[in-house]
Amino acid sequence: MKARPTLEDVAGLAGVSTATVSRVLNEPERVSAKTRSRVEAAVAHFDYTPHFGGQALASNRTNTVGAVIPTMENAIFARGLQALQEALAEDGVTLVVATSNYDPEREAQQIRTLLGRGVDGFVLIGEARDPALYTMLERRGVPFVLVWSWRPDCPWPCVGFDNRAAARAMAERVFELGHRRIAMIAGVTRGNDRAAARVDGVRDALAARGLHLDESNLIESPYRLEAGADAARQLLAAPTPWQNRPTAIVCGNDVLAAGALTAIRDLGLKAPADVSVTGFDDIDLAIVLDPSLTTVHVPHRRMGQAAARLLLRLRAREDDTTNVVFETALVERGSLAAAGK
Amino acid sequence: MKARPTLEDVAGLAGVSTATVSRVLNEPERVSAKTRSRVEAAVAHFDYTPHFGGQALASNRTNTVGAVIPTMENAIFARGLQALQEALAEDGVTLVVATSNYDPEREAQQIRTLLGRGVDGFVLIGEARDPALYTMLERRGVPFVLVWSWRPDCPWPCVGFDNRAAARAMAERVFELGHRRIAMIAGVTRGNDRAAARVDGVRDALAARGLHLDESNLIESPYRLEAGADAARQLLAAPTPWQNRPTAIVCGNDVLAAGALTAIRDLGLKAPADVSVTGFDDIDLAIVLDPSLTTVHVPHRRMGQAAARLLLRLRAREDDTTNVVFETALVERGSLAAAGK
DNA sequence: TTGTACGCGTTATCAG
DNA sequence: CTGATAACGCGTACAA
């Protein structure tokens, strides 16, 4: 049972001091080419890798950033994380992921856990959380970036898009196609500013046209297929449009929309002939549905990359750290059509 | 700018030694109730959390396990990881995730990186990798668990299911329904024993019935929708079954199957009337497709949990560390039907 | 360019 | 039950 090699072992073999080995590893240019190659050979011989704890203790850095996301089971976060992780890895930074299951208290708990683990940077989803958390992060001097959410005056470093404006644009398009009985299946808005902003956006659009999203036409559901299906069944309980059945259902994300489409099919109705459906996010799912889903395209991967870049700059204490806002695009596919008469 | 509080700060306030504070944190029962509560008050006062690097250095443990998966964008891994992470968290163990993008060399690289970061446990996907990696892990004494893969004589700790048998069962069912021209869209088999085992399973079933999966009827594709669609188009180039067009396409996973179904729709064909399709994994996608997908159900979450339990036992050097094999189930939905004449 | 030597925050051993 | 104190492996002033 061989013990793990240390700097000292390497130094011994190379016939130099541990300081020199450390330099070869961290600032190679400050070591003469000759000794450097000798040290490198010794490193290779032992298959040496620095001890994480020792490094962290001496330098007080871990080169680790933490991301706390609602759940990995939502494809948008999986995508974003993948991109984030790849971009961070290029700079030698490791990503640690924790999940909150859309629960603010659990999120706070996870942040504390990761802080304890010595992460020196955070990626957090959205903006809605206890202000005390922000002050705590700032006091500790741990940089962070908020992702997936953006609004004009966000006081924190953020990389995202305008959920509200995008949802509004979608609802306007639905109206434009002649729909007047419009319902919404939203995500759960508590502790989720993106879900809330999407509801607000739809409200904006309708209010500007004298319509109102009353209680019976707005259902909040967890982001799961069956929940979307249940909500759709409830909204479609009335047998016909002139008995108050909506002609269009705007959904808070693609998963809910997929669930709604499944329910519509099971009810013996046809989308979009009987009822139109729209989604949000444009995950892969959207194009394999039948009808394919009209939705809002969000550049998840690019957001992940941009978040990585911004966080790396913050960690380096650079000045050029402006927020990044992405455009979204309404992609029209088969699930939204003009309102039948 | 307040510096982070240390054991010494806490000890000072509580009027005890740092050793006692450490004990209160790690083995509370060995400290008298009186001093313990005093120490706890001091801890709370400073909002103290132990320094990770110091802990890692002194104890040579990080309470961190690493998982190297192909990609987070495949829903099966997202699910499994979610469950894994939750189960590990219950024991105070943090999960670090890295991705290999189905590239064996990249996987080896990631394992080394995580080793450098001091993870004291690994979760790896499947069994196919350079033997040198296994010996290295054993030399270092780092426990690991292989997931998603299982075969009778696997020499390593593993938690999975028999991919080959499950694929064989699916192909047998397809045959039983009268299909004779059977094609397969497989995942890329290089460095992926699960994908390879599924091909073998289908071959087993056909060979036992005098059929053969020749080159023109087997296409390997990356696990992406478009790749599945492309492959399906290629397989369906012949206009009719009696001109060699397959009547059934067995797919290596649900994503490929979804792509195939989309292509079939775009070609103006009907599934399952013109051509049947089967998947593998039973991700959410399967039930929202139209027709819904006949596939192999795999208990991804339970595998993640079981992997966590096994790894925790290995870390604790417990004896009861037998491999775990899960049953899969063929779930019949709409995409597979009897062969038309 | 290289070496010496100290300190980082914690755990663990051993003595009291 | 508690306190000194010696590691743990590395980074980095400072000196040579």
How large is the average pLDDT for residues B29-46?
91
Is the C-beta of residue B28 closer than 7 Å to nucleic acid chain D? no
Both B30 and B78 in one domain: the answer is no
Number of domains in chain B: 3
Both B150 and B171 in one domain: the answer is no
| Separation CA B249–CA B257 (nearest Å) | 8
Nucleotide nearest to B34 (CA to C1'): D1
Testing the interface with A: which of B284, B289, B292, B335 to mutate, by most A Cβ within 10 A?
Answer: B284
Both B278 and B314 in one domain: the answer is no
Nucleotide nearest to B60 (CA to C1'): D8
**Three-class DSSP labels, chain A:** CCCCCCHHHHHHHHCCCHHHHHHHHHCHHHCCHHHHHHHHHHHHHHCCCCCHHHHHHHHCCCCEEEEEECCCCCHHHHHHHHHHHHHHHHCCCEEEEEECCCCHHHHHHHHHHHHHCCCCCEEEECCCCCHHHHHHHHHHCCCEEEECCCCCCCCCCEEEECHHHHHHHHHHHHHHCCCCCEEEEECCCCCCHHHHHHHHHHHHHHHCCCCCCCHHHEEECCCCHHHHHHHHHHHCCCCCHHHCCCCEEEECCHHHHHHHHHHHHHCCCCCCCCCEEECCECCCHHHHCCCCCEEEECCHHHHHHHHHHHHHHHHCCCCCCCCEEECCEEECCCCCCCCCC
State the smallest CA–CA distance between residue B81 and chain A in angstroms: 8
Question: Is there a domain that residue B169 lies in?
Answer: yes
Question: Is there a domain that residue A314 lies in?
Answer: yes
pLDDT value at residue A269: 96
* Inter-residue contact A164 to A198 (CB < 8 Å): yes
Q: Which domain holds residue A12?
A: 7-50
For the CA atoms of B117, B121, B125, B126, the dihedral, rounded to the nearest 10 degrees, stands at 130
Question: Is there a domain that residue B29 lies in?
Answer: yes
Check residues B112 and A249 and name the one with the higher pLDDT: A249
Both A177 and A210 in one domain: the answer is yes
pLDDT value at residue B116: 80
Question: Is there a domain that residue A335 lies in?
Answer: no
Which of B139, B140, B285 shows the shortest C-beta gap to A285? B285
Question: Is there a domain that residue A272 lies in?
Answer: yes
The average confidence (pLDDT) of chain B is: 93
Question: Is there a domain that residue B334 lies in?
Answer: no
Which residue of chain B comes nearest to A225, CA vs CA? B284
Both A229 and A276 in one domain: the answer is yes
How large is the average pLDDT for residues A297-324?
91
Both B168 and B254 in one domain: the answer is yes
Residue B3 has pLDDT above 80, yes or no: no
Testing the interface with B: which of A47, A60, A72 to mutate, by most B Cβ within 10 A?
Answer: A72
Question: Is there a domain that residue B336 lies in?
Answer: no
- pTM as predicted: 0.91
Residue A229 has pLDDT above 70, yes or no: yes
Question: Is there a domain that residue A129 lies in?
Answer: yes
- Identify the CATH number of the domain in which residue A82 sits: 3.40.50.2300
State the smallest CA–CA distance between residue B90 and chain A in angstroms: 12
| Separation CA B169–CA B167 (nearest Å) | 5
How large is the average pLDDT for residues B19-36?
91
Nucleotide nearest to B59 (CA to C1'): C11
- Express each pLDDT in A65-87 by its tens digit: 999 999 988 999 999 999 999 99
Both B200 and B114 in one domain: the answer is no
Contact B262 A141 (CB under 8 A): no
Both A113 and A172 in one domain: the answer is no
Both B40 and B156 in one domain: the answer is no
Residue A61 has pLDDT above 70, yes or no: yes
- Identify the CATH number of the domain in which residue B37 sits: 1.10.260
pLDDT value at residue B47: 86
State the smallest CA–CA distance between residue B82 and chain A in angstroms: 6
- Express each pLDDT in A270-302 by its tens digit: 999 999 999 999 999 999 999 999 999 999 999
pLDDT value at residue B161: 97
Both B271 and B241 in one domain: the answer is yes
- Express each pLDDT in B218-265 by its tens digit: 999 999 999 999 999 999 998 888 889 999 999 999 999 999 999 999
pLDDT value at residue A203: 98
Buried b (16+ CB within 10 A) or exposed e, A237-265: eeeebeeebbbbbbbbbbbbbbbbbbbbb
Residue B58 has pLDDT above 70, yes or no: yes
Contacts of A96 in chain B (CB under 8 A): 94-97
Residue B29 has pLDDT above 80, yes or no: yes
Both A266 and A172 in one domain: the answer is yes
Residue A2 pLDDT grade (very low, low, confident, very high; cuts 50, 70, 90): low
Q: Nearest-CA residue to the C1' of C6?
A: A58
Both B45 and B97 in one domain: the answer is no
Strand D nucleotides, any atom under 7 Å from protein beta carbons: they are: 1-5, 7-13
